[in-house]
Amino acid sequence: MGRRFDARLGANESVFGPSPRALEAIAGCGVWMYGDPEAHDLRRALAERHGAGIGNVVVGEGIDGLLGTLVRLTVEPGVSVVTSAGAYPTFSYHVRGFGGVLRTVPYRGDREDPEALLACAGEVGARLIYLANPDNPMGSWHDAAAVEAMIERLPRGCILVLDEAYADTAPPGAVPRVDLAKPVVRMRTFSKAHGLAGIRIGYAIGPETLIGAFDRVRNHFGVSRPAQAAALASLRDGAHLAATVTRIAGARERIATIVERHGLRALPSATNFVAVDCGSDGAFARAVLDGLAARGVFVRMPAVPPLDRCIRVSAGNSQDLDRLDAALGPALVDAGSRRVD
């Protein structure tokens, strides 16, 4: 377009910003030095936070980087992996890149379907199952009991990749308790509620033998010194995180109010975005998205039917959401005209 968007509401970053303590840590960390390749201080703090041992925690370049390392460890040509059709695509890119055979099952009621994932994994002898809880792109979630039951039924030799990027914004009942001896790798990030998406840092928790194997293939200097310092400072600023989560919840409510006033339906969300049902098909939703973009409002949409009847709007500040409100009506008019044509 040759210019910046007026409202950036498509990438699920936190427009509310990081902890001031994190910014101070970045400024004072000594960027001329390499980061600790073991991320020892951060891993120790994360282990204490989660009631784990330091050997159960690995730090990486966001969940995307950790997914790539895990797939590199476990997938080779011909190995089957199971995910949901329309789920977070980066996982699928890694699987295909290492020659894995990607098996997909459909969403059920706008949620990933644990029963279908388990059934497919059992049929094909899958090495990995990917589940995001809460989910991207739909914002839906399963309660802890459902995820815990899924873990107990994992096929022999199968690892559950539990993407918890949005755990900070989820209801307490959506976060399961996981035995560290179980074949589950939980992935968390500082990119969402912590507001540190630009410096790429996340972590995984799992069985010590599996987590230790990351050291054989990971980029040991991939997580920078500023990223480690910022994440550690942010982890210690619970008040800022709590305030941000409150602001995200308020933004979700405002998005719902806006879209419903324009005749659309906001789906329930446990994330920092809202999936908005545009009431038609993918072509219509794409036209709405294009109409918003033409008016300076950046949003995204799911890629696979029937999820693609929706657009996905990230939590924004009041000015961002004012711009969404102003642009949505004309965008819907344009999309309706295009559909008639």
Stretches in the chain below the pLDDT threshold 70: 338-341
Report the Cα 59 to chain-centroid distance in Å: 16
CATH architecture of the domain 7-14+239-340 equals Alpha-Beta Complex (3.90)
Cα Rg, the chain, nearest whole Å: 20
H-helix or E-strand containing 323? helix 318-340
Q: Give first-to-last CA distance, the chain, whole Å.
A: 25
CATH 3.40.640.10 maps onto the chain at 20-236
Distance CA 21, CA 55 (A): 27
Q: Which fold has domain 20-236?
A: Aspartate Aminotransferase; domain 2 (3.40.640)
Regarding pTM above 0.75, the answer is yes
The residue whose two tokens read 């990438």 is: 11
Give the Cα-Cα-Cα angle 298, 295, 323 (nearest 5 degrees).
Answer: 75
DSSP codes of every residue in 145-214: HHHHHHHHTPPTT-EEEEE-TTGGGS-GGGS----TTSSEEEEEESSSTT--GGG--EEEE--HHHHHHG
Strands 101-105 and 80-84: parallel
Strands 265-266 and 273-277: antiparallel
Q: What is the pLDDT of residue 263?
A: 97
CATH 3.90.1150.10 maps onto the chain at 7-14+239-340
Q: What is the pLDDT of residue 341?
A: 43
- Residue 277 makes CB contacts below 8 A (sequence gap 6+) with 264, 265, 266, 267, 309, 310
Q: What is the pLDDT of residue 340?
A: 45
